[in-house]
Chains A and B, each alone.
Chain A
Amino acid sequence: MKYKDYYAILGVPRGADLDEIKKAYRKLARTYHPDVSKSPDAEARFKEAAEAYATLKDATKRAAYDELGHPPTGAEFKPPPQWQQDFAPGSASFEDIDLADLLAAMGRGQAGGAGSGRRQAMPIKGRDFETSVTLTLEDARRGTSVNLTLADAQGERTLQVTIPPGVCQDQKLRLRGKGGKGHQGGPDGDIYLHINLAPHAVFRPDHHDLYFDLLLAPWEAALGAEVQVPTLDGAVLLTVPAGTRAGRKLRLRGRGLTAGASDLYAIVHIDVPATLTERERVLYQELAKVSGFNPRVNGFKEKAHV
């Protein structure tokens, strides 16, 4: 068994009190937490500090650890004979057991120290897996099957699961009992799945609704029109009412991510031709002469009454 110097890992003297140990650990945890640090060895450093802290913050574990003396880091050492009786009774040897596992077992009732008598194994829940999947909007609306690869110390396995229709961005799903196997009578772990939706060239999701930009010619907006618009199930005809303004949302009921229960919205944008033919120019000029519409005046007034 290899010795690890937990005091050196936390950077505290061997006589450090609990406050010093906690402060040193938190400082390291803040520096190397995988959610914070981008350093390639951050996870290993964080785990190392957490392992050291788990032992040194617990008076019983710390006393047991201190009994080992102070061999150099990495040096092979033989734990006191009593430990084998306490931690691994009945096994021929516990050479392969890691020091951290041995000390951690103390807290789970698998080891109770000298004189603890018959030990009772505590049920341990199997490992939970957290994973994510990225779906197209089409698959999110219709539902789909995905393969989840789950890897742990026992190996790797692939689980094919069905994603129900109508999921949305950032939705979280829990699949009970499909995670790691439980130990000593504990329940199997769960799978937590985070849904991501891949960006779509046309549609933008908001919860279960979808939005897209509908470009209209000025005359379509003014006169009304029937225009073909895309949906996740294919193109449909949308009636644009006469007098439709830019920014108006036109609803296609039931065409969102949850079929029948969420909607697709077309957000109107009015575009104008960048260049005009001579005939178009004449018609626009005539319109300008005859129309009393002034968007800086009429538009504000009309909007104020909406």
Chain B
Amino acid sequence: MFDEPTEWLSLDTSARISLTELAECCDLTATELDELVDYNALAPLDGVASEQVFSAHWVVPLRTVAKLRLDFDLDLFTVAMMLGQLNRIAQLEQQVQSLQARLPLHLRVMQHE
């Protein structure tokens, strides 16, 4: 068993990731990521860095759509549309979770029901 120091990068809005690293994580090229930015599906953070920088929260949805792209041989525009929809679903799931947490006991529908 390996027991090594763990240096996690939290893949949320608290962390940043460069264009090169994002491309490497998601198995997409920098050019393809640029095209997703052109489609307004992906947005870099504002800044004056020589290389574009993104919020790390993009990593997981981008990996998901990149895999679906490969599995279904999808074009990049479809990937852009899918990325938007995935983000929307994630936001709605988060809202449901928030509402479930705040609902009074007798009104709550447990997730496993």
Contacts and interface: CB of A to CB of B under 8 A. Distances in A.
B89 interface: no
Interface residues of A, number: 47
Interface string B1-35: 11111111111100000000000110000000000
Nearest to A194: B60
Contacts of A157: 1-2
B90 to A, nearest CB: 8
A178 B3 CA distance: 11
B25 A29 contact: no
Interface string A164-175: 100001111111
A193 B9 CA distance: 10
B22 to A, nearest CB: 11
B85 interface: no
A57 interface: yes
A204 B100 contact: yes
A159 B25 contact: no
Contact of B1 (A147, A192, A206, A269): A147
Interface in A193-241: 193, 199, 204-207, 209-211, 213
Contact of B2 (A125, A160, A211, A265): A160
A174 B25 contact: yes
B104 interface: yes
B92 interface: no
Interface string B45-63: 0000000000010011001
Interface string B68-108: 00011100000000000000000001100110111011000
Given A25-B73, A207-B98, A213 B105 contact: yes
A128 to B, nearest CB: 8
12 contacts: A53-B73, A147-B1, A157-B1, A161-B6, A163-B6, A170-B94, A171-B10, A172-B59, A175-B9, A176-B9, A205-B101, A265-B102
**Lowest 3 A-B CB distances belong to which pairs?**
A206-B101, A172-B11, A204-B101
